[in-house]
Structure 1
Amino acid sequence: MLRSFFISWCCILLWITVAWSAVPAEMSPEGFPAVGAGCLAGRCHSNLAPIRSHNSDMAKQIYLLGAAQGDPNGCVVCHGGDPVALWESRPHVGAPEGSLLAEFTTTPAAMSVVDKTCGQCHTERLYRLRRSGMATGTGHMSAALQGWGIKPERPFGVISITDSDGALPSAGTPEYQAYMVRLDRQQNGIFTEQILRVPEQKWENIEAYPELAGYQYVRSECMKCHIGRLNDGKKGSGCAACHLRYAGKQLVTHSLQGTLKSKVVVNGNETTGIALENCTQCHSEGKKIATSYAGLLRNADTQKYRRMRDDVHHNGINRYGNPSGGLLCQDCHSTRAMHGTGNIAVSGRVNVEVECADCHGTSDSYPWELPLGWQDEFGFSPVQGEQRGTAEILPLEQKLGTVYVPEDGYLLTARGNPFGNVVRRGQAVVVHSASGLSYEVPVLKTIALRHEWKHPARAIAAKLQHPKHFESLECYSCHSAWVSQEYGTHLQVEFNTPDKLYSAKLTEQQQWRDPVLGINGEGRVSPLIPLFQQDVTLIAPDDAVILRRHVFISQATQKNRAIIYNVLHKTIEDLLVNRVDTSREETVLSKYDSASAYVAHDIRLEDLLSAAFIMVPVAPHTVTRNARPCESCHANAKALGYGDDSGFGIASAPLKESWLQAALRSGGQTEIMERDKAKRMSSRRNGHISAQRVPYTQLLIRNGKQLQQVGFHWALSSPLSGAQRKIMEEQNPFVRMRTGRNITEGMIMVIGKYEIDAISASAAILAIIFFVIVAAFMQSRRSKRKK
């Protein structure tokens, strides 16, 4: 027994020794200038990791500033406080002489104090950061309000702020700056001089105009992620949201993460770059970009995640010759997209400057042979111009991070900025990840010249025989493995809870296959996802139901701002919550006006649905090497925007009416109800419209009448045009193509690890089925003979 006890203790000591030795000396708590003194004394913060490695320039500057303020370890430089106080309650009070802070702060990275903390050394970033989309959320706030039938007269954001230095970006190359000024002029304003904080609304106003509840909802739900948020006292706010690693609300390590130079030790492992988990803290909502990139799909019912295929750029199993591991978000998205350019953008898309072709090129052009603006045309398609070439010099803001050797030149983004971490090496492209790994990028022209397509027949058909795909589609329209789609959302918003607004969401249906296709703001075909397909139940402070399953109409189609159209479903909510019989469902269509009464009214139902439900273009970040099959677009009613519940093939799809029209046509007169009866709504209708039958995926009917709004900020956002839909239907792979050749000829079917011709595979499968049927028939005959 004594022997086993001794062995156990030896193992524990060995584990402690290994774990301690795993921490490099420059990251060890023992490396501070004054170990055990000031904030690091006794039981206080003695095991705290350094904010940066002790031998870094940043740490050395902090130690010098701290020593001048009476704290050689530099804690007071960022936090304030009294480092020489003898009593436990005193160190967290005030600030030392010479500090820019007036009081101690636990969150020195918060935007309310950042000019006195991080801004001491990073002054050049402050102006741009405070006006960045990461801080203001301008486009998101304004878009969310439109889902409530509110079209703000001016842009709203998390904070109120003004851009005083004009529309010319203060970051980037001259080519980039000229590009953005031209884009601003072309799009009639992608920048704004001023935004206001989303205003607070009192219940008295909301009771008179229920759509104003949207302001409170946005303040409660949508403003909690952006780094300029109102409750910036929370951990992880401001700069710390990206540069400190958290697990929930728990700080994982005190060390800053950033570029390749910023080392962080977590559980004994040394890492560099900003972890995907930081991005997921915010980008798991809305379009769910970060979780999709990691291969996680949130179940709408349980809110738990299921494992899907992650993006090929994230997947650890890479091409032959490349190291195992994936790219970080920052490897593609630039410092300008994160820290801003000094302008206040009206949409998040304004600051996304990277396109797929910037690294991969096209089948007939290397990335450096493409003109600037390729895949970023905004209506000028296809872009023509001089070859963009490469760059040898980085803009000033990029020199603050890791500077890689340019080799044969830094590759340029579509808008003219050098990547900094993506270089040309002969005819090859190499991307250096902030994780420390480097990868050779598959370049399409090289693959085409060497005929190294993974599935030659499909690749040649899509890329070479139909070059229009390169000119009019986003690459991820075909190369996205799946897209998170939550169709139909019921919001129950309650004002009867003390001190805060309570809201609950219930998604009607969730899908991930074959998204609807439409046109994005750049004028290219892109996947669309539902962003605002919401109906609202509004509960008053006295528990009265003010609205029940209310659908707001956009101000874009309202002639009178005092009028809101209302679609009321008596038992859709019961259907989803209590699982009652769908035959009990009843429907009322009414118009609610500012006179506080429900009145009968006849309206164009297509206009109602068009204004109420909104889809938005998305880059799903679920890229896969194998593109979606041709028939998943050309023979798919949902992909073309006709909906997925028609039960018809494309060729015979009817001129489908909206579900609201069908509901009204099958019923009697619309009932008139007074406001005081809103708590228990009833109807004499006999319609049986199930929530599961509402065609949330239907974007338009075949005569071109649009049923849902597409996008918010960009003029080109729309469903597929009639000409595009006609071409796609004519090129239905089960009919004929322009070439007279069936597209399924020569296609590849993957069975296990084998790849065979699709037609041969189909014939083989039919033959097997035939022989199985014959064998079963013969066996049945034998059994009868024996009896």
Structure 2
Amino acid sequence: MGTIQKSYILILFLLLTAAGCSQKTGDGSTCAACHQGLELVSETHLECVSCHGGDPDEPEEKASHKDMYGPKNPADPKYWDKTCGKCHPYQLDRVRSNLMFTATGMIKNTQATWEGEDGKLYASRPSKLNDAAGNSLELNDVALLDNLAGEVFRKGCSGCHVAFQNRWVWRGSHASGCAACHFPYNENGTYQGEDQTVKGKWPHSASHKMERLPPNQVCVRCHNRSGRIALSYEGRNDGNNSLVPTRNGGPGPDIIGGPRNVTRIPPDIHHEMGMECIDCHTSRDLMGDGYAYENMYLQTEITCEDCHGSPAERPRVEQISRENDEVLRESAHYKKQMQQGDSMVLTSKGRKYSNVFLEDEKIWVQSKRTGKLHESKVITETPEHSIIGHERMECYSCHSRTVTQCYGCHTEYDQRELAMDYIKGVKTTGKFTETEDYRMIYPFPLALNQRGKVSPVTPGCQTFVSVINPQGEKVLDEYVTLFKGKQQLRFAPFFGHNTGAKVIGCRECHANPAFLGFGQHVVEGDNIEATLICEKSAEKPLDGFITMNSGDVKGFSAITRENSRPFETAEIKKIMAVNLCLVCHDDPKDPIYQKELDYNVLDNCIKRSVSTVQ
């Protein structure tokens, strides 16, 4: 190839990339002729029609836009096979099974707590997938779930999930499909780039440039409701509804979607260090790994122990030995690209992190977007993390600064009114409205989670349902829905994403019954009486799930998720008995806590009269 020919090809390439879209030279009938200033998606996405479809040879707008995919969002799932999936089949197969797309876990748990269980699994879009064991799994269309559980998901929960666009909530809107994360919306869902043909129009992503590594704002779009983990992580507390005055008669310092306002609390220690959501969460956490899961905790592959180690074992590592290792592909756009021979830390599922590695005998976490390196402190064999009796503790039971708790969800379903069904895409009969009793973030109750470990739990969900039929009759009035065959309130294991370096004090956790599930209370001898009473029972606290009468502990609310449960009587007594030790031994590094406690000796201490205690 001659020098002149090479130069011509180079000039043509520069013209194509400078235009932002494909530029067909000669007749002027190009996408870029109208969309001047439109940002280039990336250096590997050069042709408009390969993503958007349409006809670039047509000079007339309507004719050129005919048969486009979208046209605003070619990443919508209904176009995947012709657009994103055409070049990215590996990623597409993963996303199709991803809980953020299927919402199977949310629908399943909504069914369980809204009396909708029927032995089937549902998804935002019907599909046939495989579970992690390789078994075929059929996910039914949630549009066919014809009961309150289906209604509340379609008209509420589904608005946050990436199978469908959410374009109605200020600061909470997002596109559907791949664009939900990779083409973020601004606060109003309007385009803010340099293409004057769509400048300020809605609904559009803020820019036409793709975000390979989505920032935290993408996560906040959805994770500012329910558990509110994106808010807690950044040190924001959605502690009141709407615009309730919080400061000098005005709203809180930050207005978020709804509109709601948030106040400031201490942020997560990882956020303080400059880490973003994607620095901990792997692409398999967020985009799926190709398998269909029935609950979020099954898909999530990261744990605190991965980077910090456990009391008995340091973080596990494995070298990059193959030239096509996925770590090499994923880290290609990081400031520090991983290389063959690097020792990568493994997740709880035994897969390599792409940004966490061992170097100079230290564990390092690289922030994916900034390249900043953070040393991860390893806690293995440290005395405060090796206390006998704490083997079942999740790290975040002690290290959570706060846990979001929303008590008393009073939901009214009025069949006289219409509301948008986000799955069906039309307004249908039946509108939900919600009120609540109160929220709090501290203290928070503990129970055993699905791993058999002690973890925080939060209301999940305390639903009191009222139903008004088309004739205006209230056919259900503050009805407590069934769970496992009986009317009971529910709590669920939960990681609040508000981690602190400083832990909850030993005395506080062992001496405050609120941490054990009793709620706000008064201790009277060997009775613990609730003070915040559920309106449906004079004996049951709204903010707890166990009571103690004459020394016997009784559970009355369910801890949802498999194998989860409250503490039993013997466990409660052992936890409280440790207070005898804490009077003198209040340092968790005290060698006494490296020994097995003899509860018989503690019993003898309790039984001795005050005059004999030395």
The answer as to whether partners of 1:528 and 1:615 remain within 8 angstroms in 2 is yes
List per-residue Cα deviations over 1:589-621 (Å, max 9, x = no partner). xxxxxxxxxxxxxxxxxxx3xxx3111111111
Q: Which residue of 1 aligns with 2:457?
A: 528
Aligned to 1:160: 126
495, 503, 509: which one pairs with 1:619? 495
Change over 3 Å in CA distance of 1:474–1:219 after alignment to 2: same
Aligned pair partner of 2:289 in 331, 341, 365: 341
Which residue identity lines up with residue 462 of structure 2 in the other structure?
Q
1:631-672: CA deviation from partner (whole Å, max 9, x where unpaired): 22101111111121x2227x6434779957x977xxxxxxxx
Specify whether residues 253 and 361 from structure 1 end up closer, same or farther in structure 2 by C-alpha distance, changes over 3 A only.
farther
Q: Structure 1: which amino acid aligns with 2:367?
A: S
| Conserved? CA contact 1:39–1:75, under 8 Å | no
Q: Which has the larger radius of gyration?
A: 1
Provide the residue aligned with 1:47 in structure 2: 37
Partner of 1:457: none
Report SS of the residue matched to 1:625: coil
Shift in Å, 1:128: 2.5
Q: Which residue of 2 aligns with 1:781?
A: none
- CA 367–352 in structure 1, closer or farther in 2 if over 3 Å, else same: same
Query: What SS does the aligned partner of 2:63 have?
Result: coil
The alignment of Structure 1 onto Structure 2 pairs a total of residues equal to 526
Q: Does 1:730 align with 2:577?
A: yes
Higher strand share: 2
SS of 1:704's partner is strand
- CA offset digits 1:523-547 (Å, max 9, x no partner): 1110000021011121223333222
Deviations 1:97-123 (A, max 9, x none): xxxxxx663221111111110011101
**Counterpart-to-counterpart distance in 2, 1:192 and 1:308:** 45
Q: Point out where structure 2 has 5 or more consecutive residues left out of the alignment.
A: 1-13, 195-204, 243-259, 419-426, 591-614
Q: How does 1:629-708 map to 2 (within 5 A)?
A: 629-644=505-520, 646-648=521-523, 652-654=526-528, 695-702=541-548, 703-708=552-557
- Find 2:100's aligned residue among 117, 120, 134: 134
Residues 1-53 of structure 1, C-alpha deviations (whole Å, 9 max, x = no match) = xxxxxxxxxxxxxxxxxxxxxxxx999965656399555445x421211111x
Indicate the residue corresponding to 1:420 in structure 2: 354
Asked if 2 retains the 8 angstrom alpha-carbon contact of 1:200 and 1:216, the reply is no
Alpha-carbon distance in 1 for matches of 2:503, 2:378: 14
- Assess, with a 3 A threshold, how the Cα gap between structure 1 residues 394 and 491 changes in structure 2: closer, same or farther: farther
Distance 1:710 1:394 in 2: 46
User: Quick one: distance in 1 between partners of 2:112 and 2:560?
Assistant: 11
Counterparts of 2:303 and 2:556 in 1: how far apart (Å)?
A: 30
CA contact (8 A) 1:634 1:729 kept: yes
User: Contact 2:522–2:530 (CA<8 Å) still a contact in 1?
Assistant: no
Which residue number corresponds to residue 90 of structure 1?
Answer: 63
Matched position secondary structure for 1:472:
coil
8 Å contact 2:95–2:287 — kept in the other structure? yes
Matched to 2:392, the amino acid is S
**1:221 is matched with which residue: 156, 166, 191?**
156
Q: CA deviation at 1:87?
A: 2.4
**Closer, same or farther in 2 for the Cα pair 1:26/1:366, shift >3 Å?**
farther
3-state SS of paired residue (1:291) = helix
User: What is the match of residue 198 of structure 1?
Assistant: 142
CA offsets per residue over residues 63-106 of structure 1, 9 Å max, x none? 3xxxxxxxxxx1111111222322233222125xxxxxxx6632
Work out the CA distance in 2 between the residues paired with 1:27 and 1:147.
Answer: 55
1:734-786 per-residue CA deviation (whole Å, 9 max, x = no partner) reads x335xx83326999xxxxxxxxxxxxxxxxxxxxxxxxxxxxxxxxxxxxxxx
Aligned residues of 1:295 and 1:307 also touching (Cα < 8 A): yes
Provide the rounded CA distance (Å) in 2 between the counterparts of 1:274 and 1:545: 46
Q: 1-side partners of 2:31 and 2:586: how far apart?
A: 70
Find the aligned partners of 1:512 and 1:327 in 2 and give their Cα distance: 23
2:584 corresponds to 1:741: yes
What residue number does 2:214 align with? 274
Are the aligned partners of 1:271 and 1:435 in contact in 2 as well (CA < 8 Å)?
no
> Secondary structure at the residue paired with 2:329?
coil
CA apart distance, 1:308: 1.4
Alpha-carbon contact 2:330-2:354 (below 8 Å) kept = no
Per-residue deviation, 1:486: 0.5
Out of 475, 478, 482, the position equivalent to 1:549 is 478
2:567 aligned to which of 720, 735, 743:
720
The one-letter amino acid paired with 1:430 is W
Deviation, 1:400, is 3.4
1:151 positional shift: 2.2
Aligned-partner Cα distance in 1 for 2:61–2:564: 60
Q: Is the Cα contact below 8 Å between 1:276 and 1:329 reproduced in 2?
A: yes
SS at match of 1:144: helix
Note closer, same or farther for the CA distance 1:271–1:743 as it changes in structure 2 (3 Å cut).
same
1:305 matched to 2:253? The reply is no
Relative to 1, partners in 2 of residues 1:510 and 1:39: Cα closer, same or farther, differing over 3 Å? farther
Contact 1:300 1:486 in 2 (8 A): no
Match of 1:463 among 377, 385, 388: 385
Go from structure 1 to structure 2 and tell me whether the alpha carbon gap of 1:396 and 1:519 turns closer, same or farther (over 3 Å shift).
same
Q: Quick one: distance in 2 between partners of 1:412 and 1:405?
A: 14
Partner deviation per Cα, 1:669-695 (whole Å, 9 max, x = no partner): xxxxxxxxxxxxxxxxxxxx7xxx972
Summarize deviations over 1:148-203 as a string: whole Å, max 9, x none: 2222311222121112x56446xxxxxxxxxxxxxxxxxxxxx761121224467x
Q: Note closer, same or farther for the CA distance 1:351–1:479 as it changes in structure 2 (3 Å cut).
A: same
Unaligned runs of 5+ in 1: 1-24, 64-73, 96-102, 170-190, 203-211, 256-264, 319-325, 369-387, 449-459, 559-607, 665-688, 748-787
Identify the residue that residue 180 of structure 2 maps to in structure 1: 241
Q: Which residue of 2 aligns with 1:488?
A: 408
Residues 654 and 363 (structure 1), Cα distance of their counterparts in 2 relative to 1, 3 Å cut: closer
What TM-score do the two structures reach when normalised by structure 1?
0.61
Change over 3 Å in CA distance of 1:394–1:168 after alignment to 2: farther
> Which residue of structure 1 lines up, in the alignment, with residue 117 of structure 2?
151
Which AA in structure 2 matches 1:529?
T
Residues 1:104 and 1:436: Cα distance change in structure 2 (over 3 Å): closer
Q: Which amino acid aligns with 2:157?
A: C
Distance in structure 1 (CA, Å) of the matches to 2:57 and 2:24: 14
Aligned-partner residue type, residue 281 of structure 1:
R
Map residues 340-379 of structure 1 onto 2, 5 A cutoff: 340-362=288-310, 365-368=313-316
Structure 1 residue 291: Cα displacement? 1.6
Match of 1:434 among 365, 368, 373: 368
Equivalent residue number for residue 338 of structure 2? 405
Give yes or no for contact 1:242–1:278 (8 Å, CA) kept in 2. yes
Please point out which of 115, 135, 150 is paired with 2:81.
115
Distance change (3 Å), C-alpha of 1:338 and 1:398: farther
Distance 1:220 1:419, change over 3 A: same
Distance 2:266 2:24 in 1: 47
Q: Distance in 1 between matches of 2:441 and 2:166?
A: 34
Within 2, Cα distance between the matches of 1:549 and 1:626? 41
Tell whether the 8 Å contact from 2:122 to 2:141 is kept in structure 1 after alignment. yes
Q: Sequence identity of aligned pairs in percent?
A: 24
- The answer to whether the 8 Å contact 1:27/1:49 transfers is no
- The 1:149/1:77 distance shift into structure 2, 3 A limit, reads same
CA distance in 1, matches of 2:212, 2:329: 16
- Whole-Å separation in 1 of the counterparts to 2:356 and 2:21: 36
Deviation at 1:279, TM superposition (A): 1.1
Change (3 A) 1:544 1:38: farther
Q: Output the CA distance in 1 between the equivalents of 2:407 and 2:87.
A: 47
2:433 is aligned to 504
Q: Give, in whole Å, the separation in 2 of the partners of 1:658 and 1:288.
A: 24
CA distance in 2, matches of 1:48, 1:336: 31
**Contact preservation (8 Å) 1:192, 1:346:** no
Return the offset for 1:435: 1.3
SS of 1:367's equivalent in the other structure is: coil
Provide the residue aligned with 2:600 in structure 1.
none
Distance 1:131 1:628 in 2: 38
